[in-house]
Structure formats: C-alpha cells, structure tokens
Structure 1
C-alpha cells in the first residue's frame, strides 16, 4: 500500500481572505491560525483605524501577508478590498466572512420592537455583505474556491437574549445555500459554520451571555463548550480539497449541544 506524503488537510499554495479579526480571541483569528498551520497564504482585514491597532499585532503573529480596511457600511470599501486581492494575488481560493452587527437598542429589545432601520443595518452587515463578497470573489475564483460564513443555532430556534440576530442568521444560512447552488457549477462551494457559544468580544454585546455559556456546557454531551481553535479546525477542513464534494451546509461545532434541540 502506498501512502501519500501530503497531509489530508493541505492548504499549501491556497490564498485566503479572512474578514472579521477583532483580536486574538475572535473566531476569525482562530480560523486564520488554522489556515496558516495548514500552509495557506492569508490576508486579513480591519474595520477602521481604531481597530487596526488590535488587528495588526494578531496579523503579524500569524504571518499574514497583507491587511486592508473593510467596513462594509462604507460605500466602495468592499469593492476596493477585492481589487486589492486582484492586485496582490491575481486570484482567491477561499474567503471567511466572520462579521455581524446590530444596533444595541435593537439587539437588546424584543424582535417585534426592533426598528426598520436597525433591522436593515443588521441584515446589511451580517447577511447581505456575505452575498456581496460572494459576488466579488466569484471572478477571482477561476479554479473554484470556498466561501465560509459564521452563524449560530439561534437561527433555528429561540435562544433567550439572542433576539434580532436570530432572524438575521437564519437569512444568512439561507443565503449560503443559494450561493452554493448558484456558484457550484463554477466549482465554488459555500458553508455556514455554526459554533456553540464562545466568549468573544462580539458575543459580549449579547445580554447575559455568561448564562448562555453555562447552558451550552450543561447541554453539550461532551460537557464542554468549544473554542476558536475548534472552529478553525473545521474551517481548515472545509476549504481543503478533502471537502471538495461538500457544499451548501450549515455545520455545527458545539460539542454536540445541537442534539438537544
């Protein structure tokens, strides 16, 4: 029997854009670390000049090749980012979208009380931006590629205090399936990764998040919550050739918490 010397999850030569690193404990940072450990070349974004001071040290430790600003609410900035991808690399093999936002007054209230403006902002940043990125990535993925986004099980059932983000993440998951169907003929795959609760800076915006973590640990068959390294391991597999026949999925990485419904 002949065994190939190449590891199953081998990302050497692949170029990936990571959108959403906030600090070293963020999900995007955990995924970027896994991508690099598997040999991928990485570029990363920062929201604005203020966040740049937090992101660049993480990017340096991960040996990120280049960074660029990306505030999807700023007209033209997303297009400029993908033009930079074209200039720097000439193409793209995978993308991680790990950004979400809702105005605090809408996020902390009941869904039925959210404002039209707040709902629109949450949908634009957390969902429609992934669709926009897919469209911009499409011409750069001439040999196929993978598009990843990050969701949460509050999309499928009511999670106390998750509020407005539940419907928004449900829309994101549906968009992922449609993207997979539409871009599949070009060899472009799409997935939504659904981690269990993780104590990130983004999660701190959710009211009483500590209680959510405690419930997750109690419900998980493995008795533990997950961390960003667990998410990164799944992300690295999904963008590798080992997952080339998998697309259009919502994949939980939550220690089995989802089995309790």
Structure 2
C-alpha cells in the first residue's frame, strides 16, 4: 500500500516527459494517488497528453494560470470528480527571454511583473481555488531553486522571483496551518529540463553542480518526485513552511 493511497491531487506544470512535474506525478501515482493533470494550450497538449495517459490522469484539462476562467474550470472538474483535493503541485515559472538574459537592473517593468505573476502569484491563485476543496486539510507544493537564496550566475531576475515564491510559502503556511493545509517548496539542483535550458550557459551550471555537490552527482526528476510524494503524504503532517532541498547537498557548500 502506497503512502498516498486514497488521495487525489492536481499536478500543474508538466511540459513534457522530462519535466520536474512529470517526475512528481509519477511518484504520486506510484504511491497510490489519483491525479488530475493540466496543460498550457494546444501547442503543449501533444507533449503532455502522452504523460497524462500513461499515468491515468483524469481530469486532463487546459490551464493557463493567467486565466481565471480556466482556473475555475479546472477546480470545478476536480470537485465534480472527487469532491475534494488532497494535494496540489505548482511547478511553473516564466520569464521573457530578453529579461532573463539581461542584467537585473535592465529588466523591464512589464517583464518583471509578468514573471512575478506567472511564477509566484499563480501559486496564490491556485491555493485560493484549492482551499475550499481541502476540507480535511491538504498539501500545497511548489518548486523553487537555490538562486532564491544565493546569487547564481545568469539566473538574473528569476532569483528575486523565486525569493518571493519562497516568502509566499512561509506566509501561506502560517495563514493556512490552522485549517490543516501545509505549504512547502521543493528546491531541486539544476536539471536538464525545458525551463532550465533557457538559462544562459546552463551546461556550465550543470557541470559546476556535479563537481561541487557533496554527493558528486546531479539529481533526477525521480529524486524530486520522491520528495514531493513524501511531502504530500501524511508522513509529513507536521512539516510546513519549509524549503526542501533536493540537490545532492549542493546548498551546504560555501
């Protein structure tokens, strides 16, 4: 019997079979959960649908987190399917290429606002929609990165954005704890995902992580998924407001 047996969750952020969210979704299903999966638009659907089908995900629905109507439709479908929600994974981030690749001082006002909206405020919007369905408590999970805590070369504006996300996790944990809703972030080491490949000189970042991490290795989406499954389970019922590092120990190095 898996540690998520009898639970149902929503996974937001699968882009393809190499996504962090894919590793998490596989771990959720492996541990006995039923899941719903979303995809961002028709262009993304052809990459996400095979993953969702392999996992038996139902509902499978479009979701652009900038659309209140699509958020409402997803949670209405979840409510109709299960009448509740036990956990939610938010694994999305966005920044315009010109702002990501430029210095932080040169980031445009519009680009900064959009990165914050899609990468941070969307987590609040999803939490607000999930809250009424978490009548017996639940777990809200998001994905951060070490660049929120320390300056990582070429991470640029996404550093402050992820810092804001981690701050939101702490405040959400404090606000929702009395309702039995736990809020945590997972901070993986660098992974060769579509999002990661958008960072300039990402190969050098990967090499440095492998060389400097105490375990002398890179992590995998399966490693991240294992952490996510544990945080979504009742085994972590006293864990909230945390940033859980899955980086082979890289974050402890000076």
Same fold per TM (> 0.5)? yes
Map residues 1-261 of structure 1 onto 2, 5 A cutoff.
Answer: 10-261=3-254
In the alignment, the residues of structure 2 paired with residue 204 and residue 250 of structure 1 have an alpha-carbon distance, to the nearest angstrom, of 23
Large movers: runs of 4+ above 6 Å = none
Look up the SS of the partner of 2:56 in the other structure: coil
Look up the SS of the partner of 2:174 in the other structure: helix
Look up the SS of the partner of 1:229 in the other structure: helix
Equivalent pair of 2:59/2:77 in contact (CA under 8 Å) = no
Look up the SS of the partner of 2:163 in the other structure: helix
In the alignment, the residues of structure 1 paired with residue 197 and residue 216 of structure 2 have an alpha-carbon distance, to the nearest angstrom, of 22
Aligned alpha-carbon RMSD (Å): 0.9
Q: CA deviation at 1:75?
A: 4.1
TM-score calculated relative to the size of structure 2 = 0.98
Q: CA deviation at 1:81?
A: 1.4
- The unaligned stretches of length 5 or more in structure 1 are 1-5
Look up the SS of the partner of 1:158 in the other structure: coil
In the alignment, the residues of structure 2 paired with residue 77 and residue 103 of structure 1 have an alpha-carbon distance, to the nearest angstrom, of 22
Look up the SS of the partner of 1:76 in the other structure: helix
Equivalent pair of 2:9/2:33 in contact (CA under 8 Å) = yes
In the alignment, the residues of structure 2 paired with residue 153 and residue 110 of structure 1 have an alpha-carbon distance, to the nearest angstrom, of 18
In the alignment, the residues of structure 1 paired with residue 120 and residue 76 of structure 2 have an alpha-carbon distance, to the nearest angstrom, of 21
TM-score calculated relative to the size of structure 1 = 0.96
- The unaligned stretches of length 5 or more in structure 2 are none
Aligned residues: 254
Most deviating of 80-89 and 219-228: 80-89
